[in-house]
Amino acid sequence: MSGLVNTCAHSSRLFLRSGWGALLLLALASLPFAPPATAQQRREREPNSVYAHRRAKLAATAEAPIILAGLAGREEDSQAYVFAQEENFYYLTGHNEEEAGLILLPPADSKAKKDDFQGPREIFFLPAKNPAKEKWNGVRLSPTDPDIQARTGFTDVRPFSEMRAMIEKLARFYPALYTILPYEKELGGYPHERETVDWLKMAAPQANLKDVRGNITDLRLIKSPTEIAFLQEAIDLSLEAHFVAFKMMRPGLWEYQVAAKMVEVHAMGGSEAEAYAPIVGAGPNSTALHYDKLSRKIEDGDIVVMDVGAQYSGYAADITRTIPANGKFTPRQREIYDIVLAAQNAALAALKPGADMCRKGKQSLYKISYDYINSHGKDQHGKPLGQYFIHGLGHNIGLDVHDPGDSCKPLMPGQVVTVEPGIYIPEENLGVRIEDDVLVTESGYELLSSKLPRTAQEIEKIMAEAAKQRPTEVKQ
């Protein structure tokens, strides 16, 4: 939910040690115990030419070298941790293994190139081959692999241990270096970013460090055809999971059982991870936006918010449906449901390039949804319902479920965003959110999640048919 603190994705990760300082120290230390078997996410990649094109576009936006670090693989102290690359690094390389580095230089033929540095314009750094480690964790790409150029799409792949010397050399040619400066908005920034900056300051103390985050964000905003295909896979798996949840839902189930079934549908369909912790909130829990305890036994009369999305090849779907536990909305639940649905439809009707997700202004889709909600229905005290729409209307999705991007900037063709109005009335144990994913097109939008019904009538019909098929002993 845009406008909220992002509790999905990175901020929920427990970063302990990361960055190159720790990496170099650890490389020197001999390990007395078996290293933890860090599994890796299975992913399809985009063609190497796509990543190369992105790097070229990015390099052309900077007048100095861009230096980026991948994650080290020791970011969490958990045996269940599965390595997943830092998203900006992945976006530019498609590389999903530990301890990699990237240097991009301004293109030799660009106006931005003011130096007389004669070296390569991009260098990819990988850990040296380590057969002993591979016995535990499996094979990794390394600079000495005979096919490394074809596999990575880089013509210059070097051992990671040479990266610092290269930075020191570049710092003699360039007064500035670009990297991702720590993102201060949440929790004081991520440790990986801070440690990368600290490491760069050690390697090139005289360099003026500049932020390249915005340049990468601008590229990530517009999705490539392969990214849209991956997003569609993630969305389709999520729709299938929601459909299964519609059919299994009944009083007596636990919230965690519904979530478990949905996760199973994702995983069996090829999703390598959840896009975020599944939210299945029944009754009072329907009013907690990012409820993830999943500890309630679902009761007759509960309304159930299910905000559950798959990740596919790194790309995150974000889908919410709200359904009645017993298959039939109460009149009050139905009233609120229909207001949220109409608020979503009103925003969709106006969604096209130039509109935005800002809280105010003439092009604001949020305002369209808010105004609809605030002018329909009342709370128990006769007050309008706008006060219960407590989050933003939507956000970009992509490698992150809350992909970067300014919600006040006009939407552009090629963006993929959520549209997710909601009303949450704790006093009535009544929360409703409907969340769909749309591709912005030249003339309007394409609803990528159109296969999953949204109207109360269709949802009740699916649930009634499923209840009829259920064996007698579990009928309500």
Where along the sequence are the contacts to Mn ion (CB under 5 A)? 307, 318, 320, 418, 435
* Nearest approach, Cβ of residue 216 and ligand GLY (Å): 21
Q: Binding of ligand GLY at residue 241 (CB under 6 A)?
A: no
Q: Binding of ligand GLY at residue 8 (CB under 6 A)?
A: yes
Q: Binding of ligand GLY at residue 1 (CB under 6 A)?
A: yes
**Cα gap 339→235, rounded to integer Å:** 24
Residue 73 identity (one-letter amino acid): G
Token duo for residue 204 = 């090139």
Total Cβ atoms within 10 A of residue 253: 20
Q: Binding of ligand GLY at residue 276 (CB under 6 A)?
A: yes
**Cα gap 11→397, rounded to integer Å:** 16
Identify what 103 binds: Mn ion, ligand GLY, none; CB under 5 to 8 Å per kind. none
**CB nearer to ligand GLY: pick between 174 and 312:** 312
* Nearest approach, Cβ of residue 190 and ligand GLY (Å): 19
**CB nearer to ligand GLY: pick between 105 and 303:** 303
Nearest CA among 357, 287, 270, 271 for reference residue 322: 287
* Nearest approach, Cβ of residue 460 and ligand GLY (Å): 24
Distances (CA, A) of 250 to 328, 381, 474: 11, 31, 9
Q: Give the three-class secondary structure for 290.
A: coil
* Nearest approach, Cβ of residue 311 and ligand GLY (Å): 12
Token duo for residue 247 = 């059919």
Q: Binding of ligand GLY at residue 307 (CB under 6 A)?
A: yes
**CB nearer to ligand GLY: pick between 5 and 82:** 5
Q: Which residues make Cβ contacts (< 8 Å) with residue 106, sequence separation at least 6?
A: 59, 60, 62, 63, 64, 65, 112, 113, 115, 121
**CB nearer to Mn ion: pick between 333 and 407:** 407
Identify what 215 binds: Mn ion, ligand GLY, none; CB under 5 to 8 Å per kind. none
H helices present in 82-121, as ranges: 87-93
DSSP state for residue 248 in the 8-state scheme: H
Q: Binding of ligand GLY at residue 437 (CB under 6 A)?
A: no
**CB nearer to Mn ion: pick between 320 and 322:** 320
Nearest CA among 430, 422, 459 for reference residue 343: 422
* Helices and strands (DSSP H and E) totals, the chain: 13, 19
**Whether 249 contacts 290, CB under 8 Å:** no
Question: Closest CB to ligand GLY belongs to which residue?
Answer: 1
Q: Binding of ligand GLY at residue 318 (CB under 6 A)?
A: yes
Residues of this chain that interact with ligand GLY (CB under 6 A) are 1, 8, 276, 307, 318, 401, 420, 435
